[in-house]
Structure 1
Amino acid sequence: MTFGEYLRNLRKKKGYSIRQLALYSGISNSYLSQVEQGKRGIPKPEYLQKLAKALEIEYDDLLAAAGYRVKPQIDILQSFNKQISLEEALQELLNSDHVMFNGLPVGELDEETKEDLKTAVLAIMEYKAKHGKSQQQPKKAAAAARKNVMVDGGAILLSAAVS
C-alpha cells in the first residue's frame, strides 16, 4: 500500500472528504488529492503533523507509515509491564550503561564489583522480606528513596555507602 492509499483510507475512516481534511489540517485540497493519487511524494513532517492532528491519530504512527521513522516492534511501555524474575532484573541492571554506580556506568564495572552489588541487593531484598517494616506513607517513602537514588539526565545514579 502506498502512503497515498494509506492516507485515503485514514481520511475515509474518519468520514472526511478531501475538502474537510484540507480545512481541518490547513493543507490545500489539491495537494492532498495529489498525494492520495500518488502524483506527489511523501509530505514533509510538518504536513504529517498537521494531518495527524486533523485525523486524530498519533504523529509517530503517521511518520512511520511515511517511512520517516521505523516503528518499534515492541512498545517500550510493554517492556516495563512484563514480569521478570529478580535475577533477570538484576542481570539487566548490572549490564546497563544507563545506571551509574560511584560515577561509572554499571555495565563498565568489573565482574567482582557487579557480583558484590548483586549479592548486596539480594541480601537487602531477603532482609526486607523477613523483617518488613510497616507501610510507609507515600511521601515518606519517596523522600527515603530520593536519599539513595538520584536521576541525572536520564541516568540513574546509585551511591555506595562506604564504611
Structure 2
Amino acid sequence: MEQDFGLFLKRLRESKSLTLSQLASGAGISGSQISRIENGLRGVPKPATLRKIAEAMDVPYEELMERAGYLRDEEQMAESIPEWATGKDKRDFKRMLEDDGELMFDGIPLNKEDKQRIKDVLTGLFWEAKQMNKRNPAYKKGKSEH
C-alpha cells in the first residue's frame, strides 16, 4: 500500500507540474518527508498530513484519503462506534486518530498492518473509557477535583 500510494502521489504531483520543493512549501511539510512518502519509505501519511497535501495540490481531500486506504478503514470503524456515542465523542475520537505523529516502535516505523492493529485496540479502549465516564459521574467529578 505504501509504495502504491507513493507512486500515486508522485504522479499526481507531476501532473500538477509541482516540484517536491513547491509541494513541500505549499503543504508546510519537508521535501524529504514527501520524497520518503513517494518512494514508499515513510508509509502512508496521517489524515492531517493528507489534508495539507490535498490543499497544496488543490485536489479533493477525500481522493487522497481513499487512495491512502483510510476511507475503507473509517467505514469499518463506523461499524464499531457504540450507539450511545454523541457527536462530540465521535469528533474526539476522529481527532485522536488524525494526530500527525508517525507511529514507531523501538525507533522503527510501524507498517500499515501494525498501525491498524493499534487503531483497533485504541478504538476499543476509547469507547470503553467514554462509556465508563458516562455511567460513572463520580469518576468524572473525581478527575476534575485533582
Per the normalisation by structure 1, the TM-score is 0.42
- Higher normalized strand content (fraction of residues): 1
Q: TM-score of the superposition, structure 2-length normalised?
A: 0.47
Higher CA-based Rg: 1
Structure that is richer in helix per residue:
2
